Structure 1
Amino acid sequence: MDAQNKPQILEHLHKSLTVTLYDCKWIPGSAKFVTLGSYARNTGCLQVYELDGADLKTIREVEKPQPFKCGTFGASSLAERRLATGNFGGQLQIWDLESLQQPVFSAQAHASIVNAIDGCGGQAKGYGAPELVTCGRDGCVRVWDVRQQDAPVAAFEPADPNNIRDCWCVAFGNSYNDEERCVLAGYDNGDVKMFDLRMNKVRWETNVKNGVCGVSFDRKDIAMNKFVACCLEAQFHVFDARTQHPKKGFASVSEKITAGATVWGAHHLPQNREVFMVAAGDGSAYLYRYHYPDQRKVKDHEGLELGVAGSVELLNFKNLSTQPISGFDWSPDKEGLFVCVAFDQAIRVGIATKLNKV
């Protein structure tokens, strides 16, 4: 790609806080976002901000007993725009951002910290019930219907109670009709598992040899196309999910980021699923594009279909912080606009330009 058409990653504004920040999410259909984290006194901090030109206005801020680790709007309707959060006490909670005194939903999801959360089925696009998935240090992956408060609708527990692996990340995908839905989970020992929620069993699993810090499908609401697993030791893996071989599973391509830092997550551009931002432990953001191969599948020697992985191209990168980027979210409404938080206790709003040229 010539330099003239190369996307640029620009920092629009920067706000320093005295709060440890773990996650951030745009409020759909608005110029507002939320940040989640912990005050120095080890209590939870939930803040709502609004973009106002070159300024960032604090709309509201609340303190809760437990630090917040993660959040999602994925199971909420666009009318309600309710935020689901996971905290350090293992609680799953749903909040009405207009009235933050008490959660509208609360469940003890895990024995200790909720490491990650994702939502599906709540917004205008997508199918099936509005559901949340959580994972924790207890090694469990649990799926919750937001209309039922008593118990999870599905749970995937460690097979061996004497060998529990910390589950670091989860993501929904394959939700292209009212029956189909899958969950990806990544573990501290490098395991990646895909759970089929219709069949209530493991559909596929592999080990990528390094702890898995983030998993994500390129789109949740389509028949699964591809997904990314991000790891310790500067690596991420892109799997072609269109073709599953009975023995070899999904074809994949692996990439190593130049800095040698942990890859904390990959975030697909909502307006173009082939473009994704990788958030790294050195405080840098790496913008990639996936290129499909000429043929996405071939026949093996037994005549079975075998997927073919494509390639990834680094479009650009920018160092944003001296500390790991702990949370990143693209705006669902304005292409290229993003918010990220890092362990330097700062919020950054940025813009990736010329994405329509790639």
Structure 2
Amino acid sequence: MNPLFSPIKLKNLNLNNRIVVPPMDQYSAEDGLPVNWHTMHYGNLAASGAGLVIVEATAVEPAGRISPQDLGLWNDAQEAAHKGMLDAIRSYSSTPMGIQIGHAGRKGSTGRPWEGGKPLPPDGAGWEICAPSPLPFAPGHQTPAELTAADIARLTESFVATAKRAVRAGYNLIELHAAHGYLMHEFLSPLSNARTDAYGGSLENRMRFPLEVLAAVLAAVPANYPVGVRVSGTDFIDEGWNVQECATFAQTLEKAGAAYIHVSGGGLAPEQRISLAPGYQVGLAAAVRAAVTELPVIAVGLITEPELAASIVVTGQADMVAIGRAMMYDPRWVWHAAAALGQTIAAPPQYLRCKPHNVKDLFA
């Protein structure tokens, strides 16, 4: 068996293979509620053959949304809608479903990307935003209100409440969003965190808020329930958050009981400089993997070819591989990877007759 298609266990959750569909924002919710688009979109991905599908960034409070059309999970109606979506998907798919929960911080209150993605003023369609420090994301964006210690404690409880709702709704896994310039990442990076209290300054202090949220969420969910963390391995900016600090953070997450770490990069500020190439962020995941003992690591970043995905796992650069945009472009990516690598995979019985005649033993 090719290692990419070998099983792996995250706490109490068994995955059939190492291919993950990562969170990819759809900006299509109504009052935070998943709608028919989400059921169709995630249902399609749940039939892809991936070992795990993680639902997009879901806000823990209204002010934690990126756009007005973000998913939320802070009230009963949203919880019921998430459960309804999962129930519909599970009537045809046994693929484990996770959810990423987070807070947009200073990158909140913006329009949808295909509508320009511009900042929305608080006196119009937007809302007031918050962050570790009163430093705007970019010129023209709101200056966020600096969070007080009481605010931080309240937000921690918001994460806990959302985590409990996620468990009740039926999600198999929770991912805390500490990447891409959103609130937890803003605490981690010295470029966005200028605090002088216990939540700023040293690396230990900058890690404090994400670690407090992880500890509180782990205490609130069932024993051995998997809670992982999405991180940016670097800001791609000099003097910013870097892979060495991320490796230390990963070691701390491992000791704290995280189920995995999902290593992406960038997103903190427009000044980032990124050279795009296939697997351009895999080196970040490999550096983190080398720093931890047993904590599973997910690699991501323009991984589009089955051979590249397989090599990442075979060479031990990461334990799992996230296929994002390539999976949206080709929701049968996993089938094609199995065919290319000579593997057998399960498929819905309704689709068994689509197997190409020249591919033997593709479907179980």
TM-score by length of 2: 0.30
Bigger helix share: 2
Structure with greater strand share of residues:
1
